[in-house]
Chains A and B, each alone.
Chain A
Amino acid sequence: MKTKCMLLLAALVLGLASCGGKSTLSSGGGGGGGGSGNPIASAAANVATAVVNAGPSGDVNTLFTSVTVCAPGSTTNCQTIDNIEIDTGSSGLRILASALTANLPIQVDSSGDSLAECTQFVSSYSWGPIALADVTIASETAASLPVQVIGDSSFVSVPAACAGTGSEEDTVAAFGANGVLGVATEAQDCGSDCAESSAYGFYYACPSASNCVPVALGTASQLQNPVTFFATDNNGIIIELPSVAATGAESVTGALVFGIDTETNNASSGTATVLPVQTGTGYLTVSLNNTFYDQSFLDTGSNGYYFTDNSLTQCTDAEGSGFYCPASTTSFSAIVCGYQDNSNSGNCTGAPQESISFSIANADTLFSADAADTAFPTLGGTYPTASSVDLGLPFFYGRNVYEAFENKSTSKGSGPYYAF
């Protein structure tokens, strides 16, 4: 089915329709942006297939791709792993140990001690050693890339300071994927902070597998956005997903394109407005409901539009808990503004900006309409804080979203920025 959809993706540009059944691409319709039928790159050396489907845990609005890992320099000790989540909210490739059969060497420090990481997510942590791998996605390779092996059975003693940061996600079932491909605007998951201090609690050295102590770790040894390690097409990505019918779809097939303005298939088109984001945090400002949310961000790793609107009814059942369940689908208009390091920081005065619109439907209705659906463009929920709008994966449906990395240049300027 994946192949069939891939072929039809090319047809979509010509105005033809879908992949059959409910597992479809629907052109047109839906919220704002650039009209119907955004072009989606066909197969090429710098194009990986990106799919939304149930994955290993039946989660919704989760974008997956596959990667091939090899021991550095090897062409035989290799493995292709699917169900790797594409996450613009983190940096680095992390693979669950139970999904990994290739034998990758563990990275060691100058004392010969194994290196490990306590990866921090908002509500959870993932613990495991740092290995080295040649990582190939589509036809691009990141050579000798530090990758994390989550839940390695040789490193079962989680340091107390790590366990104290949240819920453990060290299995495929808990993680909801075989791994995560972190392609945030930042090159490393921690950067110079962790190179200078062990206080961040990210990196550990392990004299033995059951005794790991926090260490400072140079940026070269840290987890890296793999795309920045590619020999070419390494200055950014484009996430290209078709629009999805408002009622949902069983699956969605699009493209993860490497590079911006480096090939004929990744030119930043004439209309895209560059929206800078804050270095380090990736923050920009969203103006919504007459409020400026200055810690907003785009995140494929979030499964909905998340923002605070007390006039929207929240779902009360377990399945919909945290999502909105308005009596009728509610439309919103918003402005996404680039980050400004000046006195206008936090409002949109003088900032490059793009208007967007989106709708929030009743999550219970969406989920009950077809149990097989996994892609919902109108899914939203309440956000924990009053300063952020989280433009999650639904925002990416029907758009080609350009993301330029920090310290990388494109014909439209230097990253970090988004454009769509």
Chain B
Amino acid sequence: MLSIRAGLNHGLATALALGAAGVLLRATPAEAALGAPSASIANDGATLSASIKATPHDAYTVHELTLPSGTLVREYSTAGKVFALAWNGPAKPNLSQLLGNYFADFVATAKATPGGRNHLNLSRSDLVIQAGGHMRAFFGRAFLVGSIPSGVSSDELR
């Protein structure tokens, strides 16, 4: 019998394979949050019917989106683009919208984690996506490693 015992992720190879297969080609960068220009956050807010509250910090701005479900989404942006986002609440947000082209990486990692639908942990040199919780209490985050402003710890991005 095939023995599948993967933990949280199978890493790059599978992600690339599925990405190349075009899992989500319809997700367009213009609408996506992660990696997109900061102006895309307003688009996310409209698409997700969310209110947005922006709070400037020294090295970045946090845009907190409150979804109708009560789930909170935080998008972290510099002048250039959204480099991180996090979610927390009773229902998952539309991750295809928020992760954009990186949603394919999320899906590929999930598929490579049999028996692990309750965790997701993608850790690459360029991209980290993590998710946890359980029904009624979901949380997660994603960030572009190379785009985090200098002096900022990834621990802040939650």
Contact = CB atoms under 8 A, between A and B. Distances in A.
Interface of A: 54, 57-62, 89-91, 120-124, 160-161, 163-167, 169, 174-176, 182, 184, 186, 189-191, 193, 197, 199-202, 280-283, 295, 297, 299, 301-304, 306, 315, 318-323, 363, 367, 371, 381-388, 390
A297 B139 CA distance: 14
B43 to A, nearest CB: 15
A165 B92 contact: yes
Interface residues of B, number: 53
Contact of B8 (A295, A321, A385): A321
Quick one: which of B7, B113, B136 has the most chain A CB within 10 A?
A: B7
Interface string B86-120: 00001111111100000100110111011111111
Contacts of B139: 295, 384-385, 387
Contacts of A281: 136-137
B17 to A, nearest CB: 13
Contact of A197 (B3, B68, B118): B68
Contacts of A320: 5, 7
A65 B68 CA distance: 37
B107 A122 contact: no
- B contact face: mostly helix, strand, loop, or mixed: loop
- A contact face: mostly helix, strand, loop, or mixed: loop
B56 interface: no
Nearest to B26: A160
B115 A193 contact: no
Contact of A123 (B1, B68, B117): B117
Contacts of B60: none
B6 to A, nearest CB: 6
Contacts of B155: 386
B29 interface: no
B35 interface: no
A91 B136 CA distance: 10
Contacts of A297: 134, 137
B81 interface: no
Given A176-B114, A176-B115, A384-B141, A120 B91 contact: yes
B137 A318 contact: no
10 contacts: A54-B1, A122-B117, A164-B95, A174-B111, A176-B114, A184-B134, A197-B69, A199-B91, A381-B119, A384-B121
